[in-house]
Amino acid sequence: MKKNEIASKRFGGTPMSKIFFLLAALAVTAAAQPRLTADSSSRSDNGGRERADTARTYQLPEVLVTATRFERNPIDVGRSVTVIPYEQIKSSIFQSVGEVLAQHGGIYIVGIGQNPGMIQSIFMRGASNNQTAILVDDVRLTDPSSVNSALDLSELSFAALDRVEIVRGSHSTLYGSSAIGGVVNIITQKSRLPGIHADAEVRGGAFGKGTSTFSQNLFLNYTLPVGFYVNGEINNSDVRGLNATVDTVTNPNAFKNRDRDGFDKRDLWGKVGFRNDKVDLYLSFKNTRQRTDLDRTAYIDDDNYTLDFRRNLLTYGVSYSMSDALNLKAIGGYSEMRRLAVDDSSVVDPLGTTDHTYSQGEWEGTTLTNEIQSNFSLSGVQGVIGAGWYEERMSSRSYFYSRSMFGEFEFQSDLDSLHLNTTTANAFAHVDLNGNLVHESLNKFALALGARLNKHSTFGTYATYEINPSLKIDEGSLVYASYSTGF
């Protein structure tokens, strides 16, 4: 059974209704300074010494990295872009990244507003759900065990989140395949101001009779004045009492073995790093585990059908600023995931008799990403050149057993011996040209050009490119056009 088939069995796909949050979110911050503010003022104390003015804070300017692979003010980017800061997400009632994304234009997500654990598929700018690149700290995240490698967004929680960057439209020149509809980049937290910081949150509620949801989150950070930092976070969620199936049996004497399902999810995340004016390096690890009770088919209950999912994600990054005009960067990541669906025998009468069937499906997949890039900035010119390697591997096993009056039946399959894998090597370049290169009067004009060469182990070598002119009307308005190809 494939992932999309399991989706149809998740509580029959019935939408959630009557959502009532019974407990308000509780947030406790034990930080010496706000996370996204910077203090640049000073004053003299009685001894004449200068000390920081902790009573005044200044919001850091908003920057976007995903659209060009170097920091830009979003208003200067000739693309439809959105930056969602953590503070905005934290103050909302949403419980997952997918729910947050669904609130923004150009994005449609199937599975939003339904029972927790329902598979969430993203469709951006009309593209298919495997044609939007989902990144974590610039590292692509997929599900290689599924038919089209599309990611289930329900596995993405707010753990480790600093901000979400969205770029709509084809972006294959910078991010390769699966970036035809656009790019969603989840940026994780780095250092804070020196000291120990802690954030805690508890949420609870109900969304129907006999249901309950309870989640807890704890974040810890320790940052040294020299730039070294350690982050850790745990996010846990428990949902109970779900039953979206429909009881169509009218016979009062019929045996009804109906159960209320649940959903459990836990994320563990850790990150160590070092940052100063020249160097920015980090290593992070995230473990995701979730367990979902499934139903037999749409609107038909099953008391012993469960789906367990696990992912381990390791990412790293290091950048070195050689000068104001040149920066070198390397990023990479390794992901392994496993999905296990088990449908055990169901009780069919009051005596405890079962239907004597058992099925199990197991899917595994790994991804490996390594990229290097160089950013340069000259008068009127900014750009990036780089190269990378991406690999996906997958395998699956299935088993079915049945015993009836006609005898026993057993079937199993294993794809391990096929060694299913694909690789993609690439080289890319992107440059933003300002109009003042031609004349000072043209400084409000800009032209972005990009190209990428892909060598896929199955589909061969293909090139993509983009042309993106823009005109800045004023500080808050930009007119642009974009022509790009995808692979």
Mean pLDDT of the chain: 84
Least confident span in 16-30, 76-90, 126-140, 450-464? 16-30
Binned at pLDDT 50, 70 and 90, residue 268 comes out as very high
Residue 365: what pLDDT?
A: 96
- Indicate whether 196 pLDDT > 60: yes
- β-pairing, 420-434 vs 407-414, is unpaired
Rounded to an integer, the average pLDDT of 209-227 is 92
Residue 3 is predicted with a pLDDT of 54
**Cα torsion angle, 110, 291, 17, 203, sign:** negative
> What pLDDT, on the 0 to 100 scale, is given for residue 14?
39
pLDDT of residue 31 exceeding 70: no
Half-sphere exposure of 248 (CA within 13 A, CB side): 6
Asked if residue 257 has pLDDT above 70, the reply is: yes
Mean predicted confidence (pLDDT) in 430-451: 93
- To the nearest 10°, report the CA torsion of 170, 173, 177, 183: -50
Q: How confident is the model at residue 62 (pLDDT cuts 50, 70, 90)?
A: low
Tokens of residue 210, six digits:
């006999």
289, 261 Cβ separation under 8 angstroms: no
Per-residue model confidence as pLDDT tens digits over 35-61: 433 333 333 333 333 333 433 433 444
Confidence band of 75 (pLDDT split at 50, 70, 90) = confident
More confident residue, 40 or 127: 127
**Average pLDDT of span 252-257:** 77
Which of 382 and 115 is assigned the larger pLDDT? 382
pLDDT for the residue numbered 89: 85
Predicted TM-score (pTM) of the model is 0.84
pLDDT: which is higher, 483 or 114? 483
Give the whole-angstrom CA distance, residue 91 versus residue 305: 35
- The pLDDT value recorded for residue 60 is 44
Residue closest to 282 by CA, chosen among 229, 321, 328: 229
Bigger pLDDT: 66 or 297?
66
Distance from first CA to last CA of the chain, Å, rounded? 28
Residues 6+ apart with CB under 8 A from 331: 137, 138, 139, 315, 316, 317, 369, 370, 371, 373
Least confident of 7-21, 289-303, 342-356: 7-21
Q: Confidence band (pLDDT; 50, 70, 90) for 73?
A: confident
Which of 36-50, 140-154, 193-207, 379-393 comes out lowest in average pLDDT? Answer: 36-50
